[in-house]
Amino acid sequence: MIPEESRFESDPTELLGDDDTLPNGWEVGLVDPSDRFDVARLTHLLRAHERHGRGWAASGVDDVLVEVSEHGLRMRENIVVRDPGGEIRAWGSVHDRAPGRMLYSHIVERELPDKIAKRCSDVLFEWAVGQAKTVGAARGLEVQQIDTGAFQDDDRQHNWLMANGFERVRTWWQMTRPVTPEEAGLIDGDPAAWELEGVVFRRVRRAGSGMPDEDDLRGVHDVLEGAFVDHFNSSEETFEEFLHRLREDPGHRWDHWWLAELTDSGTPQAVGALVGTVSEGANGPDGSYVSYLGVLEAARGRGVAKGLLRTIIADAAARERDRVGLEVDADSPTGAAGLYTSMGWVTKYVTESWHRDVPVAD
């Protein structure tokens, strides 16, 4: 269930106390999501972080608002470090993603002198550990994982993570595939609903109100929970948490959710699901993105995953988009990377997962 109030500590002084790590005049504070200057500054920091890590920026104001808006703060908390002039120079964000799993974003301005940058970094890490203990205690846990990411070539971030007890645990390939207009005919039918060899691929239905059918949404959730139960760092997520989190994505669209159903027994049985989003093009067409793709083990080998991928490709072509992106676990034993490569996906850049386990009652 989504909590009525955040499980995090909203007052940074409760976690940091009288910290004297920062230079004179520098202060730790909160973000004001109604202040356009705060939001603009965080957007600038995030985009600069991306440009340094992979060569270009893709995030925008909407991505920042997911983290700092009043709506988002039911599952998140933020902290910033300001210089004597009030300018934000560093930003930390935590997300109560699932029981035992706290996502953490750690961004420090690239132009800062090394000594000051490290001081800002140390404060953000201390705050994150405090938040891990807070949210872990609220969930009744003994150990709370902090899960953060880094670009493969970001040496400064790697050094800070290692110095603060984090371990690199996984590598992820961020892949993309071009889409041509002709691929609207890649499937035998309409992306809204088509069939191949006893498998029906269809969008989630709409209720009379225009909202998605709840049974279909629960079907997507159940398939993904079952498909990922043995995957790396998988954590059980309630239906309410699942919907709340995915609807926060700026690229969320209900007509980008598909189910795959077996019809062998006469009664359709949901065995696969794909949740897609929109990737806005900075200077060109939009793209589609595969946020989640899952197939139940009992249905593997029936072409379900390939059919769902062909569906989102055909849908992207019909919408005059020029690409479909996705993320794949480079160490996955399922062979998913081979399927994606065979269908035209190539790796555009690489990211990493870094973890630290924090004893809650330390």
pLDDT tens column, 334-353? 778 899 999 999 999 999 99
pLDDT of 59-70, one tens digit each? 999 999 999 987
Q: What is the residue extent of each domain of the chain?
A: 12-172+354-359, 180-321
Q: Looking at residue 1, what is its pLDDT?
A: 61
Q: Over 90: is that where the pLDDT of 232 sits?
A: no
Question: What distances in angstroms separate CA 126 from CA 12, 119, 155, 241, 356, one per listed residue?
Answer: 10, 11, 20, 27, 13
Q: Quick check: 237 pLDDT over 80?
A: yes
Give which of 152, 147, 156 is closest to 120, Cα–Cα. Answer: 156
- For domain 180-321, the CATH architecture is 3-Layer(aba) Sandwich (3.40)
Secondary structure tally for the chain: helices H, strands E? 9, 13
User: What percentage of residues in the chain have a pLDDT greater than 70?
Assistant: 98
Written as one letter, the residue type at 158 is: H
Q: How confident is the model at residue 72 (pLDDT cuts 50, 70, 90)?
A: confident
Q: What digits encode the pLDDT tens for the residues 282-303? A: 667 899 999 999 999 888 889 9
Identical topology for domains 12-172+354-359 and 180-321: yes
Query: What pLDDT is stored for residue 362 in this prediction?
Result: 65
Q: How confident is the model over 301-320, as pLDDT tens digits? A: 899 999 999 999 999 999 99
Per-residue pLDDT tens over the stretch 212-228: 999 999 999 999 999 98
Nearest residue to 303 via CA among 201, 209, 212: 201
d(CA 108, CA 118): 9
The string of DSSP codes covering 6-40 is -SS-S-HHHHH-S---SPTT-EEE---TT-HHHHH
**Letter for the amino acid at 300?**
R
Between the alpha carbon of residue 203 and those of residues 216, 277, 280, 314, the distances in Å are 9, 13, 21, 13
Confidence tier at 207 by pLDDT (50, 70, 90): confident
Class of domain 12-172+354-359: alpha beta
pLDDT of residue 285: 82
First-to-last C-alpha distance (Å) of the chain:
27
- Pairwise CA distance, residues 246 & 280, whole Å: 17
Alpha carbon 233 to chain centroid distance? 14
Residue 282's pLDDT is 66
Q: pLDDT grade, residue 204 (50/70/90)?
A: very high
Closest CA to 42 of 71, 3, 10, 78: 78
Ranked by mean pLDDT, the top range of 18-22, 84-88, 237-241 is 84-88
Summary mean pLDDT of the chain: 93
Tokens coding 224: 């993904």
Residue with tokens 């969320």: 252
Output the pLDDT for position 35.
92
Residue 336: predicted pLDDT: 83
CA 187, 287, 332, 239: dihedral to nearest 10 degrees? -90
Global pTM value: 0.91
pLDDT per position as a tens digit, 261-278: 998 877 899 999 999 999
pLDDT digits (tens, 9 = 90+) for 16-51: 987 778 999 999 999 999 999 999 999 999 999 999
